[in-house]
Structure formats: C-alpha cells, structure tokens
Amino acid sequence: MPEPRISQAAAVKAASAEAARLNLKSASLLVLEQPRAKVLVAREPEKVMPIASITKLMTAMVVLDAKLDMGETLSIADADVDRVKMSGSRLQVGTRLSRREMLHLALMSSENRAASALARHYPGGKTAFIRAMNAKAHALGMRKTHFVDSTGLSQKNVSTAMDLAKMVSAAHQYASIREFTTADRHVIKANRGGSLTYLNSNRLLQTRSRDWNIGVSKTGYTSEAGRCLVMHARIGAKPVIVVLLNSWGKLTPIGDANRIKRWVEVHG
C-alpha cells in the first residue's frame, strides 16, 4: 500500500518535535530529504530572518547565469570596502583577480570584497545585480526572500529556512558552486608577488571530515543573523538539505549539524 499523504503543516509539527528532542540550538532550522523535499527536522522554518553570507549562494548563481567571462580580471575598489559592519579583508584595494578567483573566495571563505566586486562588475552594476538576485529568488519560489546587497552584510537581506532550502537545491545544480563551496583551501597570488592562503569557512570542510559527504556548503554570520550554516549533503544513502539559522555560539552550527547527522542515520 502507498504511504498515507500528510499535510506539510502536520509534517512540520512532527519535525519540530524531533528538533526539540535533539536539543538543537539554532533558532530556525530545516532538514529536508531530497528529492521529495520530505521534512525530517524543523523549527520555525517559515520565520523571516537575516541570512548574512548565505546570500552569497544567490550571488554566485546570478554571476553564473549571466555567462560572463570567468577569466576576466576584476579589481577591488574603495566601493567594495565594508562600510556597514567595518569587517576586515585581506584583499587590498587595487587587488586584481579573475572573476573565477573572486567567486571562489566569495563562496569558500565568504570574502565580502570579492562578492561586492562581482556585483559591481556585473552589466548594469550593483543595481542591476540586486534586481537579478531578487528575480532569481522569485523564479525559485522564494516568496519570503529579499536581497539588497551581494554580500549579506545588510540585515535587510532576509529569507526563511524553507526558502533557503530551495536556494541550496538550486545551487547544487551548478558545478562551480559545488566545487568552490566544498574546497578546503585555496591559494591566490597577492599583489606584491607573495601568496595568500584562504580556508573554507565551514570547519567540517577545513578538516576534510570523512564523516560528512558535502556537496554544497555556505556559512554566514552577522550580529543580527547569528551563526548560520546551509549544506547539501549525503547522509548514508540519503541526499539531504540542512539549513541552520541564528545558532548560538561559534561552533553551535557544527554541533547541530552533527546531531542532525546522527539522527538521520538512525531515524531518517
């Protein structure tokens, strides 16, 4: 006999009970089994929240959809310096890298100046880029999502765990996003002939943990958004999407992810 169909609301209610039993610390979270988008674990998945650098997955899709020359040299300008959070960067004003390198650093290490430069060098500039981000979100059915910048530094970049699951699923279709978000490190040539080594902002990938099979990864943090982590991963035989928003503490998303992994292996 076929499985009885249950409403999404009932599925989310049951999944929320699992989140409570697991003692997960993320304020909003969602675990979906693919490809059916079956809700496994959830907590307030429709709550609209700031998403910090999770934004950069959309930034990457807009860049790649435009089919721009990935070998073209882009430059870091004063306009790319963070005046919102005053965050630092090792990419000095005047740094010149290919569009491919800028995208790699934006995705793997959440490099804000690289993400800003990608938008600034888009046809029509940042205004056209933000318009394309919101159009892409609409096309993906992300009805509660809105972007105002390409970095995620603004607290006005908002979404929900449910919407972000759609974005992660779409991002997984891009080979470059899979490659760049799961690299453990990347070395670039600095302006003065030296080199700079960047690490993946997801500690699970820094250590190349054999416990995880991750296809797409993105972290984020601002004071408003808290610690955020999204992943497309295979747990056992199951492809799943994990969305963790506003987690407590620097390592809490990693702890939540590992608790979810152990639960899926047993119950999912």
Active site residues: 53, 56, 110
Upper half-sphere CA count for residue 136 (Cβ side, 13 Å): 24
- Residue 23's CB: how many other CB atoms inside 10 A? 9
Cα–Cα distance measured from residue 120 to residue 96, given in angstroms and rounded to the nearest whole number: 14
Cα–Cα distance measured from residue 182 to residue 170, given in angstroms and rounded to the nearest whole number: 16
**Taking each helix axis from N to C terminus, what angle separates 175-182 and 99-108, rounded to the nearest 10 degrees?**
60
Distances, alpha carbon 196 to alpha carbons 60, 187, 214, 250, in Å: 22, 6, 25, 24
User: Which pair of tokens denotes residue 141?
Assistant: 């059915």
